[in-house]
Amino acid sequence: MAVTKERRQELVRAIDALDEEANQQLDANRGRGLTPRFHELRDQQAVVEDVLLDELPMLAMSRCPFCGFVAQQAFDPYGIDGLWWRGPRAIREAEAPPRCPHYFCFTGALALARPIEVLPFDVEPGPEVPFVVPSILEHPGMRVVISSTPVGRHTGFPIFYYGDPIIPETSGLNDWGHHLWTSYDDGKPGGSAGRLLLDNECDYDLAPWVARGKVQYILPGDDTLTLRSGVDGCPYLDLPGRRVLNRISNGVVYPLDAP
């Protein structure tokens, strides 16, 4: 059974408390080696992290525009304070979820509700509005599917790339909110690699891509994940928000001068 919001909050608080005490042990004994208590705390933390990871809901996030396969993802929809969002320290599922042979990569955007949470780690949730990367999408056969999902008080926009054919000579984008791209070969997980995305690679003017049929979308709240096309009625065009790759640190959204 997927974790409830209350259960998830309890587990996150337990993880943070164990992490804080372990760091205090580390600081207090710096230069004198790691204490048995430090190892005990880290072991306890790992156990609770595994419990939370196992209980994260598998959300149906996207649908392949070529074969109709529904892509599911173990995901934390309750907020950005959980393990899923902790940047380089993010903890994802031990086994990558199944994908169809057309899947290439997935990224995302996050429309932020203010005030922003003050967290003891950085979060890199992407821009506040959906976007595409033309250097990938302009290849023949490549498509994007955009959907939406709540993330606590915020609104997330999963962005999945598919191809028929895919472009194996090109690196995919890092998994949404993570520092690694999980590659797939014919629907089976392969290796992992880091791929730094730059602001000047992102295109936020989605209407031309939608009009060309390169971008399809799923309406917010549509549990059937019906793929839709066409500019008229597309809910992901011209949304308000920062059009820059955001980083949240200590409750502040960087870069500070972003529009």
For residue 228, being part of any structural domain is answered with yes
| Domain limit, last residue, from 55, 70, 86 | 55
Q: Are residues 37 and 85 in the same domain?
A: no
Q: Are residues 153 and 224 in the same domain?
A: yes
pLDDT at 221: 96
Q: Are residues 86 and 161 in the same domain?
A: yes
102: tokens are 């057309």
Burial of residue 224 (number of CB atoms within 10 Å: 0-12, 13-18, 19+): exposed
Q: Are residues 66 and 30 in the same domain?
A: no
The answer to whether 18 touches 44, Cβ cutoff 8 Å, is: yes
Q: Are residues 75 and 44 in the same domain?
A: no
Which tens digit of pLDDT belongs to each residue from 116-146? 999 888 999 999 999 999 999 999 999 999 9
Instruction: Give how many domains the chain has, as a whole number.
Output: 2
Q: Are residues 147 and 127 in the same domain?
A: yes
Which tens digit of pLDDT belongs to each residue from 16-45? 999 999 989 888 888 777 888 989 999 999
Q: In a 3-state reduction of DSSP, which class is residue 163?
A: strand
Q: Are residues 98 and 216 in the same domain?
A: yes
Q: Are residues 12 and 91 in the same domain?
A: no
- Give the residue ranges of DSSP H helices in the chain: 5-28, 36-55, 134-137, 207-211
**pTM for this prediction:** 0.92
The answer to whether 218 touches 62, Cβ cutoff 8 Å, is: yes
Q: In a 3-state reduction of DSSP, which class is residue 70?
A: strand
Q: Are residues 162 and 35 in the same domain?
A: no
Provide the domain limits for residue 168.
58-254
For residue 211, being part of any structural domain is answered with yes
Helices 5-28 and 36-55 cross at an angle (nearest 10°) of: 160
For residue 259, being part of any structural domain is answered with no
Q: Are residues 62 and 34 in the same domain?
A: no
Q: Are residues 229 and 170 in the same domain?
A: yes
Which tens digit of pLDDT belongs to each residue from 193-244? 888 899 999 999 999 999 999 999 999 999 999 999 999 999 999 999 999 9
Q: Are residues 155 and 134 in the same domain?
A: yes
Which tens digit of pLDDT belongs to each residue from 54-75? 889 999 999 999 999 999 999 9
